[in-house]
Structure 1
Amino acid sequence: MSGLSVFGTWVRRGAVTAAAVMLAGVVLAPSAQASVSQGGIYGSGVVTDDWGDEGPLSTTSNSHNIVVGLWQSVLIADGYLPGGGADCYFGANTKAATIRWQEDRNLGADGIVGPLTFGRADNNLYWVGSEIRYDGSDLNLYNMHRTSSGRWYADGGGSTVYFSYTSTDGCP
């Protein structure tokens, strides 16, 4: 299977190389509101509507955190950023890749990752047992999960990493 673990292992046509996609963090306790106000990514029910209330991520808003690393992993999986391009910073390269990703999906190409952009990306999420995967154009993302309270995390390498808007722990 071709894929990218959100913990940083690429698998493409049988070859394995390291990628800079180590994601870590702590998520704040959930509140009644969604997305940034909760401190991290949460969902319930089907996974294809979990990201539609997330963001914004941009060069000026929530620009350095674990959720940016997750978004960069989506861009890598879809072929818009090179492998090793995830650094948890939403800079010029991530903005340009986001604009191309949005253009190719007929979204408002403003380089800001908000509910419409995240909502389009989550259409590619699917379950494999208790694991959530992202079906990318070039690679699949894997090792993602939800707790019983809906909190998103990655599991791998003996660590649990929560997708957080408030933490950069573990970012390269």
Structure 2
Amino acid sequence: MTSKRSRLAACTIGALTAGVLTLSATPASASGSYSGLAYVYGGGVFADDWDNEGIVDTSHNKQSNATCLWQKILWADGELAASGIDGDFGSNTAAATARWQTKFQVPSDGSAGQQTWTAAGNWLRNSSWLPDGSTVAHYIGTSHSLDLTRDSDGYYHFTDGDGNGRIAGYNYRTCS
């Protein structure tokens, strides 16, 4: 009887240990983020910077600076008025996203997910490296160009609708 209990206890401890190790090996991430980072991120050449960005839509990262950056892209491509850049992914942003997706031949669902961010990233052009290790980039829109910087940690910076500098993060909203 004792050996049966010992085996059962050993199995239980083993299963619990495996579960704890699995949980601790999983990195914390922003909701809907493919990269596992809490910021719109890149490194090296710009060509693939946005290939693994998280989802922004009416259910994921709805109110965030990442949403605000997405709205700036919609503005640059003539799909959203400057007054709509507020970091809140509402029905107007969803409709503008669906129009943008149709224009750029991405499946149109009104949600900026991996395919949509990847398509937008195709229009990123780097300009210069700065002494502090950051890089100036440009998003070449069909109506406007959008100036961005990528800091030495790889985080994207942009100006919001009021011209204030922001970092494109998924977990907070300071954008206006």
TM-score (norm 2): 0.72
* Secondary structure, aligned partner of 1:149: coil
Contact 1:36 1:165 (C-alpha < 8 Å) held by counterparts: no
Contact 2:63 2:88 (C-alpha < 8 Å) held by counterparts: yes
Greater Cα shift, 111-120 or 36-45: 36-45
Instruction: Return the alpha-carbon distance in structure 1 between the equivalents of residues 46 and 118 of structure 2.
Output: 11
Return 5+ residue gaps in structure 1 as ranges: 1-30
Encode CA deviations 1:2-35: one digit per residue, 9 max, x unaligned: xxxxxxxxxxxxxxxxxxxxxxxxxxxxx69765
For residue 84 of structure 1, report the CA deviation from its aligned partner.
Answer: 1.9
The share of aligned pairs that are identical, in percent, is 34
Q: Which has the larger radius of gyration?
A: 2
Contact 1:51 1:118 (C-alpha < 8 Å) held by counterparts: yes
In the alignment, what sits opposite 2:53?
54
TM-score (norm 1): 0.73
Contact 1:145 1:155 (C-alpha < 8 Å) held by counterparts: no
The count of residues paired between Structure 1 and Structure 2 equals 140
For residue 95 of structure 1, report the CA deviation from its aligned partner.
Answer: 0.3
Q: CA RMSD in A?
A: 2.5
* Secondary structure, aligned partner of 1:132: strand
In the alignment, what sits opposite 1:131?
136
Instruction: Return the alpha-carbon distance in structure 2 between the equivalents of residues 149 and 74 of structure 1.
Output: 22
Contact 1:73 1:141 (C-alpha < 8 Å) held by counterparts: yes
The yes-or-no answer on 1:167 pairing with 2:172 is yes
In the TM superposition, what are the counterparts of 1:108-127 in structure 2 within 5 Å? 108-127=107-126
* Secondary structure, aligned partner of 1:161: strand
Could you say which structure has the higher helix fraction? 2
Could you say which structure has the higher strand fraction? 1
Contact 1:64 1:89 (C-alpha < 8 Å) held by counterparts: yes
For CA contacts below 8 A with separation 6 or more, give which structure has more relative contact order.
Answer: 1
Contact 1:68 1:90 (C-alpha < 8 Å) held by counterparts: yes
Instruction: Return the alpha-carbon distance in structure 1 between the equivalents of residues 159 and 84 of structure 2.
Output: 21
